[in-house]
Structure 1
Amino acid sequence: MNTKKAIMALERFEKLAKKHTKNQQYRYWVYNVLEQQLNSIKVVKGQFCLNGRFYEALITYIKHNHAQQFERRKEVKLDNEFYNFFNALKRKEVIHSSSTFYPKSWRLISINPNPYNLLRADFNVLDKFKENIDIFTTKMHNEKTIKNLYIYLRLYHPHLQTQQILKSLKNNDILYLSENQCVLIHYYKLFIKSKTSDTFYKTIVLDKNASVLLFSLKNNTERSSKFFKDIHLLEKSLQEYKEQVFQDMSFLSIKIVNKNYYTFEHTTLYNTLRSKTILSVPLSIAEVGSLYRNGGSPQQKSQEETYIKSVFSRKDKEKSSFSYENDIGYFDLYEIYELEKIFKNNNKKISVKEITNAIIAIKRYLELYDVEHTKIIYRYILDGLKKLLVNEIKLRTFQGQIWQLNKHIFTKIMNFEYIQDYEINDIMERFETILYTKNTLVSINRSLKRFFDFSKLEGFSIDVPSILYPKSIVFQNELDSILNNIKEDYFEKFDGRLTYIQKFKYIQLQAVVLIAFYSGLRKNEIRTRRLKDIYFNEGKIYIDVNKNKEHDLKTRNSLRRIEFTINDSGHYKIIKEWFGLREKIKNKSKHLFLQTDENKVYSKIMEEDIYDNLNWIIKTVTKRYATFHSLRHSYATYRVLDLLKEEDNNPYGLLELSIKMGHEIPETTLKTYVHFDLLLLMSKGLLFNRIN
């Protein structure tokens, strides 16, 4: 370490800190610790780079040398005061911009890639949490009160509920499925105004403790009223209870301990899904209604039908008009040099000439590139620049709004004309998993709403409910109805007199459905298989996928061998019968699935339009948002159920499933295909009991 360089940095710190900060005591403490640590602190451009070690040294210094001041303040309060003090130092460039601040109550989130890990020194808190939850659940069973339910949902439930969610909960938003199973429906406002609805919902599957208590309270309140009536009184009771049993712990700290408690109580895979550390496919009211007769009110079921109708019409429109050949990729905020200069301007003021040059450059760009995706973004930026030009908004406000949009929208959506469901879900997932402050979330939502309101005025109509509405699985007990519909469709068409070719045609369609359900293959992977890719051995079926690389691979794991077993004897019989017919066909085709008409089997590959017919049949049977692709969802969901039933459902089972599905990472499997909340309902409490 260059001592002279460090001494100069210390002199600079003393001079600027005195000028830019008001708290003389904090300045004195920081200066003394800097002086003590002078040879170990990094200096860049004459500025100290402070980190978590420095903060720990600072706290130790205060404890030993200024014990009275330390005792007078709570440590969490001290953390918050120093956080603001350090931020002021960074803003005024007294310390280097790379400096990081990790107080005890923040470092659990700041340091670890997984924000729910505890430090070793904090593991003793888990014992306290376990003791508290055991005492409280016993109390819940003895004293069935709304207050106890509220406290449990806020502090002890596997997926903690916020005050906002519970405050808005009405009796009509609760599905009392059984004595051991209840589901909450939380309706929330969308940041985009839609033609079908300005609100959407998410379902919350309660655990057994909460469900039993909630079910016992269902007749105590009016159906039309809010369930938690006096939320302020309940919050006061919650605060009193928290201070009594958790003392100075913040709600954020309790949330982290809660997640760690369930990590140790249950298996890794179960807890990851139950605590929403990784979001799985949301549960729809239509799926609840398929499992329980009382799964939704008439109004809710009617709304579901509207959503389903809307999502199918949207998909049909996209299919007819959307081409991925025109995709331009994600938006680049710094593509236009004149605009980049404005966003990188660190001064509070900007010249009229700079703004004018950026406006001219954007207009020139829009004339050259007629792409709707970038048009709407640049039109919005253009509108902001015009407001900046007449001093309607400040430079920092403009930069902040566009930066937020770029981070949360522009770099997350590939094409604004055809927004995909996973893109919107990923955006909303960020708000769920990243622990933003309330003010930050309000600011982000305002920016998003402002942009989409502007988009609507410019002719972009985005129906978010139809985008967000989750695709359903096909239940195993629905398979036979689908297979029968395929068969009956042909018998009705030909008055029950089927030729050899017509029989082959409908059995081939049945085989396609069964292979999709039991193997999880993508529809194009099934359609393009060769005759030599499939073989049978001791009751198992093996399929080589993309062995000859006929097409571009979607992921590196797309090249694989699938092994699966069909335990249903009737389904296995259909597969064997179809394969027997296929082997008897006298043509030289190398393809497994062949194109047919009413009187002939061709040697060319089966065409994609067969999936349109299968989509219609699946939709008719399930009466939910289900298509042929739902069979892939079914495969992933039922396999995860098998994993959860095992005593040691370790990550290797999930990795194997992910590879079988052709995914590069397990998160893709969980987020896109696994319906975990649905599994909790399908098991009717058995899954809870098995894990516990």
Structure 2
Amino acid sequence: MTVLHEKLRGKDTGYWIIQCTNPLTHKRTTIRRNPKTDAKFKTKRSAQEFELQFLKSSMDLNMKFSGLFEDYCNYLEVHKSGKSLIDMKSRYNRFFVHLKNKKIVNIRESDMNLIVRDMQSNGYHSSYINTIITTMKILMNFAVKKGYINNNPIANYPKLKVAKTNDDLKFWTPEQMKQVIESIPEVYKTAPDVRQIQHIIRFGYFTGMRYGEIRALRWKDIDFNNNIININNHISKHNTERAGRKNGDYHQLVMDDDTRAVLTEIYENHKKQPEFTNDCYVFHSATRGPYFPLAATTGNKYMMKLAEANGLKHITFHGLRHSHASYLISIVGLSEAEVADRLGDTVAVTSKTYAKFFNQARVRAANKISSHKLGF
């Protein structure tokens, strides 16, 4: 890697130098003059231009994939969370380690093809394979940014098409939800926020709202007088609050009795706090306070622990949305249009996503009709 230094003191005051380390020999080199002209680098631009030439003529041709990976990990240690580094090392050891001795200038789309085919043969889901494709692109983009290569050779590598089927929909039945809710006091008996855990799991199931929408919900969005929840914003997994929902504009949700009861209970507790205002988050961080939303990973952590404690299949927090839809279709008996309106989706998307549930409802309807034979 190279480091550009500006205006050093002493005899070279006012001039730029280039310091670089060979990733193979780890030998450190300091360049103070252009060896072709013997001229010092008076401007940053002149130093950068020579630096790029130097990289192309030496480091670019020698750096192996393992060196690039080590360089990127060093970057993650400084600029990203610890989880990012752990995830990167795990993916490297599982999918990229066979490339460690390959020079990065020789990386081609064919290398990505081999990784994808191997993952497919081992039964990895297309969505996770796409994650690995993205990871490889990130690494090669980093190589371009550092000047190790001119272009990312897999920049245009296409992701796999992910076709969701009804078999992909993981959900809990109302009976399982009741079991989970009742287990929370015991599962989280040492946690300071047991009630909040119950509240957010119940709320997610009663409304079918996405986790990012729930995280962004503030008391000013709750209209108790008109029984309306205004979904005006969502928070991404990268903790960026954005207007509207994940897939479109804002949405209004009319509260049913169960949803209103949960929100009323939370509101009665929150308004007693001296720092309470309508700008407080409905579901806020237990450690940072009412003006900070829940962490991006909190909801899924709750779901995983509760699934294990109750011996149920693992579902993500988004699985509560599917559980809610299943309940509306299979138990309540709402139509496709009514379910779509409740979830804030189009009828076409709702019909396709929950086709299995609607087909089951249609079969039950036909059986009910059959039980009342007209006799003529």
User: What is the TM-score of this pair, normalised by structure 1?
Assistant: 0.29
Contiguous gaps of at least 5 residues in structure 1: 1-191, 197-309, 328-365, 375-413, 426-467, 495-501, 646-652
Distance 1:373 1:548 in 2: 30
Structure 2 residue aligned with 1:560, among 247, 251, 261?
Answer: 251
How much has 1:640 moved relative to structure 2?
2.7
How much has 1:533 moved relative to structure 2?
1.1
Using a 3 Å threshold, how does the CA distance of structure 1 residues 582 and 368 change in structure 2: closer, same or farther? same
Using a 3 Å threshold, how does the CA distance of structure 1 residues 194 and 485 change in structure 2: closer, same or farther? farther
How much has 1:561 moved relative to structure 2?
0.8
Secondary structure of residue in 1 paired with 2:224 = strand
Secondary structure of residue in 1 paired with 2:315 = coil
Secondary structure of residue in 2 paired with 1:562 = strand
How much has 1:476 moved relative to structure 2?
0.9
In the comparison of the two structures, how many residue pairs are matched? 234
Secondary structure of residue in 2 paired with 1:584 = coil
- Kindly report which structure 2 residues correspond to 1:134-283, keeping only aligned pairs within 5 A, or say none: 194-196=121-123
Using a 3 Å threshold, how does the CA distance of structure 1 residues 654 and 686 change in structure 2: closer, same or farther? closer
Distance 2:216 2:299 in 1: 13
Q: Name 1:688's counterpart in structure 2.
A: 366
1:532 aligns with 2:225: no
Distance 1:541 1:642 in 2: 23
Structure 2 residue aligned with 1:585, among 265, 273, 277?
Answer: 273
How much has 1:690 moved relative to structure 2?
2.8
Distance 1:548 1:631 in 2: 17
How much has 1:673 moved relative to structure 2?
4.0
Secondary structure of residue in 2 paired with 1:614 = helix
Q: Name 1:641's counterpart in structure 2.
A: 330
> In the alignment, residue 634 of structure 1 is paired with which amino acid?
S
Distance 1:612 1:319 in 2: 21
Q: Name 2:159's counterpart in structure 1.
A: 415
Distance 1:619 1:609 in 2: 16
1:470 aligns with 2:193: no
Using a 3 Å threshold, how does the CA distance of structure 1 residues 612 and 566 change in structure 2: closer, same or farther? same
How much has 1:608 moved relative to structure 2?
1.5
Q: What per-residue deviation string (whole Å, max 9, x for no partner) do you get for residues 495-531 of structure 1?
A: xxxxxxx2xx222222211222121111101110111
Using a 3 Å threshold, how does the CA distance of structure 1 residues 592 and 622 change in structure 2: closer, same or farther? same
How much has 1:319 moved relative to structure 2?
11
Distance 1:577 1:643 in 2: 25
Using a 3 Å threshold, how does the CA distance of structure 1 residues 554 and 674 change in structure 2: closer, same or farther? farther
Is the contact made by 1:482 and 1:617 (CA closer than 8 Å) also made in structure 2? Answer: no
Q: Name 1:666's counterpart in structure 2.
A: 347
How much has 1:194 moved relative to structure 2?
2.9
Contiguous gaps of at least 5 residues in structure 2: 1-118, 139-148, 236-240, 371-376
Distance 1:609 1:672 in 2: 25
Is the contact made by 2:328 and 2:339 (CA closer than 8 Å) also made in structure 1? Answer: yes
How much has 1:421 moved relative to structure 2?
4.4
CA RMSD of aligned residues (A): 4.1
1:594 aligns with 2:284: yes
Distance 1:581 1:322 in 2: 46
- Kindly report which structure 2 residues correspond to 1:387-466, keeping only aligned pairs within 5 A, or say none: 415-416=159-160, 420-422=162-164, 425=165
Structure 1 residue aligned with 2:182, among 484, 505, 510?
Answer: 484
Distance 1:484 1:639 in 2: 22
Q: Name 2:154's counterpart in structure 1.
A: 371
Is the contact made by 1:535 and 1:541 (CA closer than 8 Å) also made in structure 2? Answer: yes
1:612 aligns with 2:356: no
Q: Name 1:676's counterpart in structure 2.
A: 357
Distance 1:480 1:583 in 2: 28
How much has 1:470 moved relative to structure 2?
1.6
Q: Name 1:654's counterpart in structure 2.
A: 336
How much has 1:622 moved relative to structure 2?
6.0
Secondary structure of residue in 2 paired with 1:551 = strand
How much has 1:618 moved relative to structure 2?
4.7
Distance 1:320 1:586 in 2: 44
Using a 3 Å threshold, how does the CA distance of structure 1 residues 486 and 541 change in structure 2: closer, same or farther? farther
Distance 2:291 2:260 in 1: 25
Distance 2:172 2:227 in 1: 21
Using a 3 Å threshold, how does the CA distance of structure 1 residues 527 and 687 change in structure 2: closer, same or farther? same
